C-alpha cells in the first residue's frame, strides 16, 4: 500500500493510499504529487469539525483564478460502489468534485469527523495512519501551504 505525506506548517500528515479499492484515483494523486503539482498549494477550504480541502492550483501564490475552482485540466471517474466499500470516517482522504459525478481531478479533502452523507458520492482513496496525523489535520488552517510526497 503506497503512502503519501502531506507536509504542512503544522506538521506532516501520513496517509495510506487505497490502491486496491480506488486504483485510478490513487494513480492520479500519485502522478500529480510526483510531478510537483501540489507543491506550494494552499488549503483553500477548512471547515472545523468537517474537513480540510486542498489541491486547487488557483490557491498557489500569484495564481489568478478563484481558489477552489481549478484542477489539473482534466477530470477522472469516481470510484464508488461495490468495488470501493470504504466510508468517510475521521481522517479519510477523499476526492473532491463538483455536483456531477466523474468531475474530480486534483482537489482532495481530509475529514475531521465521520461524514456518512458523502459515502457513495465521493471516492475514498486513503486514510491517516495514526492519531498524531489527526492532530495535524485538526490544526491545519485555511491558507496553510502544503506539498505532497509519495513514499
Q: What is the pLDDT of residue 90?
A: 98
> What is the CB-side half-sphere exposure of residue 38 using CA atoms within 13 A?
26
Cell of 72: 489539473
Sheet holding 41-42, edge to edge: 41-42, 145-150, 3-8, 11-17, 124-128, 92-95, 108-111, 51-54, 45-47
| pLDDT tens digits along 69-111 | 999 999 999 999 999 999 999 999 999 999 999 999 999 999 9
CA distance to 17, 36, 131, per residue, from 96 (Å): 16, 19, 23
The span from the CA of 147 to the CA of 108, in Å, is 13
Q: What is the pLDDT of residue 151?
A: 95
Residue 117 neighbours by CB distance under 10 Å: 9
The span from the CA of 48 to the CA of 33, in Å, is 26
Q: Evaluate whether 132 touches 8 at the Cβ level (below 8 Å).
A: no
Q: What is the pLDDT of residue 88?
A: 98
Across 18-122, where does the E strand assignment appear? 41-42, 45-47, 51-54, 92-95, 108-111
Q: What is the pLDDT of residue 73?
A: 97
What are the sequence ranges of the domains in the chain? 3-150
Assigned fold of 3-150: Cyclophilin (2.40.100)
Residues of the chain with pLDDT under 70: none
Amino acid at each position: 500500500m503506497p503512502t503519501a505525506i502531506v507536509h504542512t506548517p503544522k506538521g506532516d500528515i501520513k496517509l495510506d493510499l487505497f490502491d486496491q479499492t480506488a486504483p485510478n484515483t490513487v494513480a492520479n494523486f500519485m502522478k500529480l504529487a510526483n510531478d510537483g503539482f501540489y507543491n506550494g498549494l494552499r488549503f483553500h477550504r477548512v471547515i472545523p469539525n468537517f474537513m480540510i480541502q486542498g489541491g486547487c492550483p488557483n490557491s498557489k501564490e500569484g495564481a489568478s483564478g478563484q481558489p477552489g475552482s481549478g484542477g489539473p485540466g482534466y477530470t477522472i471517474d469516481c470510484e464508488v460502489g461495490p468495488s470501493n466499500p470504504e466510508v468517510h470516517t475521521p481522517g479519510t482522504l477523499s476526492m473532491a468534485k463538483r455536483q456531477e459525478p466523474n468531475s474530480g481531478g486534483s482537489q482532495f479533502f481530509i475529514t475531521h469527523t465521520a461524514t456518512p452523507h458523502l459515502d457513495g458520492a465521493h471516492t475514498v482513496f486513503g486514510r491517516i495512519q495514526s492519531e498524531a496525523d489527526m492532530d495535524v489535520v485538526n490544526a491545519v488552517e485555511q491558507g496553510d501551504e502544503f506539498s505532497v510526497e509519495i513514499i
